[in-house]
Amino acid sequence: MDYTVNTLFADAGEIQADEREALRYLGYGKNLPDEKTKELIAECKAELEKVIAAKCCYVRKPVVLKENALDIGFGEIQSRALQKNLAGCPEVFIFAATIGIGADRLILKYEKTAPAKAVVVDALASSTIEVWCDQVNRLLCENKNSKPRFSPGYGDFDIRHQKDIMALLDTSRKIGLSLTDSMLMTPTKSVTAVIGIY
């Protein structure tokens, strides 16, 4: 079994924003944007695409069930929700994914100079990291049965385990992903998660 930390990179242009998701984040619901907004979105999407550097590192680990806790490679986790999510899974993938600092840079630039573009790039970038996670999920779980991915901060899965995952995967070194003192991931468009496989 391969318990090594591996890395994945997307090719330039391979990972693109999901416009419909982005519109949802922007509060559109079922409504469609007007022409001017459509233009704005297209412009922002093109700019964002140029700066996306999608990277991921992951590891496969056995699940060890203990009394009221479970261990997937970085000490004991007390979380009923995660335990439920992983029920029947002898193993998990643990991964960290990011679309890189370029998106943050673009958002910051427009926050200062063009707020409408800033919110649109922000929404597009949020959808992009989800697209990248979906892709990672697909690649990892090919030909396997898997559970929906579960991140620190979901339910009672303490967000502080983000730190453990990042240490385990050595994300700072491998994909340039680090944490602030208040447990925010930087670059901000990043995700850590656990996927149960069975």
Partner 1 sequence: MKIQERIKSKITYFDGGMGTMLQGMGLKPGELPDFWNLTHPDRVLAVHRAYLEAGCNIVKTNTFGACRLDNKAVIIKAGVSLAKQAVSAFKDAGIERYVAFDVGPLGRLLKPYGDLDFEEAVAIFAESVRIAAACGVDLILIETMNDSYETKAAVIAAKENADLPVFVTNVYDETGKLMTGATPGAMVALLEGLGVDAVGINCSLGPEQMLGIVPELLKHASVPVIVNPNAGLPKSADGGTVYDVDADAFSDIMAAFVRMGAAIVGGCCGTTPEYIKKTIEKTKDLPLLPAESKDETVVSSYSRAVYIGNEPVLIGERINPTGKPKIKQALREGNLAYILSEGLSQQEKGAHILDVNVGLPEIDEVKTMAEVVTELQAVTDLPLQIDTVNPAAMEKAMRLYNGKPLVNSVNGTDESMEAIFPLVKKYGGVLIALTIDESGIPDSAEGRLAIAKRIVNRAAAYGIQKKDIIVDPLALTVSSDKNSANITLKALKLIKEKLGVKTSLGVSNISFGLPGREYINSTFFAMALQNGLDCAIMNPFSAEMMKVYYSYRALKGLDDNCAAFIDFASTVTVEQFLPQSAAGSAGAGSDEPLQHAIIKGLKEQAFAKASEMLKTTPPLDVINQQIIPALDIVGKGFEQKTVFLPQLLMSAEAATAAFEAVKSVMNAAAGDCGNKIILATVKGDIHDIGKNIVKVLLQNYGFSVIDLGKDVPPETVRDCARENGIKLIGLSALMTTTVPSMEKTIKLLRQTDPDIKIMVGGAVLTQEYADLIGADYYAKDAMEAVRIAERFFGGGK
Spatial distance between the Cα atoms of 29 and 176, rounded to a whole number of angstroms: 34
Regarding 14 and contact with partner 1 (CB under 8 A), the answer is no
Residue 84 or 173: the one with the smaller Cβ distance to partner 1 is 173
Smallest separation, CB 64 to partner 1 (Å): 14
Nearer to partner 1, 68 or 180 (CB): 180
CB of 29 to partner 1, least distance (A): 7
Give the nearer residue to partner 1 in terms of CB position, either 30 or 88: 30
Task: Please identify which residue in 62, 116, 144, 156 interacts with partner 1, judged by CB under 8 A.
Answer: 116
| String of contacts with partner 1 for each residue 70-109, x by CB under 8 A | ---xx-------------------------xxx-xx-xxx
Contact residues: partner 1, CB under 8 A: 1-7, 9, 12, 26-29, 31, 33-34, 36-37, 40-41, 53, 55, 59, 73-74, 100-102, 104-105, 107-109, 111-116, 118-120, 122, 153, 159, 164, 167-168, 170, 172-173, 176, 178-184, 186-188
